[in-house]
Structure 1
Amino acid sequence: LFFYKPDLWWPNGMGKQTLYNVAINIDVKGFGESDSWSQYFGFRKIESRIDGATGGRLFKVNGEPIFIRGGNWILSDGLLRLSKKRYSTDIKFHADMNFNMIRCWGGGLAERPEFYHYCMARVLDYWGL
């Protein structure tokens, strides 16, 4: 794959959230399609470092400094009744509060792909610990 000057993905408040879709289909000669896979993604460069003067963590997205506004994400339903609509709605609430990052709590379960998709579509970065 080659992308010449792709539109970059930016977090909430910094620009557009351009997403691309890649689809791969595997065809076996004489048998047809054996497998397929697709995924949305955005082009971005995220940098993080510790500031020597303050000891705080500094972030850059696509070379631009960013002030992190966000909250902590924990599993929203202990019975795992999570749907695409629920993820979309819960993450939209975060974006509507002008958050630009969600910190995923490391003591919970690993999130499903829908979580990451809606974070990218709703202008949020995620930080897992």
Structure 2
Amino acid sequence: MARRTTRPPQPAVTDGSPCPCGLPAAYGACCGRFHTGQAAAPTAELLMRSRYSAFVVRDETYLLRTWHPDNRPSSVDFDPGMRWTGLEIAGTTEGSMFHSTGTVTFVARYTRAGEPGRLHERSHFERHDGAWVYVSGTFME
């Protein structure tokens, strides 16, 4: 008989938890306020961080809302075996409150089936109807 193993669930992220994006604020005061719609990310970098956090908490609604409508998929396919473990911002170009486009280069770390991995991407953002949205990404390395 095959032995079935269960993995412990990923810890829940609450408003008082450290924000998954890595900034020194609680989730509710950081990315959580963007996820709930209480505020909009004022820069491309903060949108990127909030999208990473949305993958951590599996907030499909937020991810789709912040995807450019020309490229937006109909749904987000979350890998149930993937656990996001950290984000590092490697660099940004433009993307401030005074720009209409910007890029954010980042490394997102994860584990899948107990094996560590990383996603190194340069994400492209632009303003659409006044709000920052994700347009596309280029994998690095």
The one of the two structures with greater contact order (alpha-carbon pairs below 8 A, sep at least 6) is 1
Structure exhibiting the larger radius of gyration computed from Cα positions: 1
Structures share fold, TM-score greater than 0.5: no
Tell me the TM-score normalized by structure 2: 0.23
Query: So what's the TM-score if we normalise by structure 1?
Result: 0.24
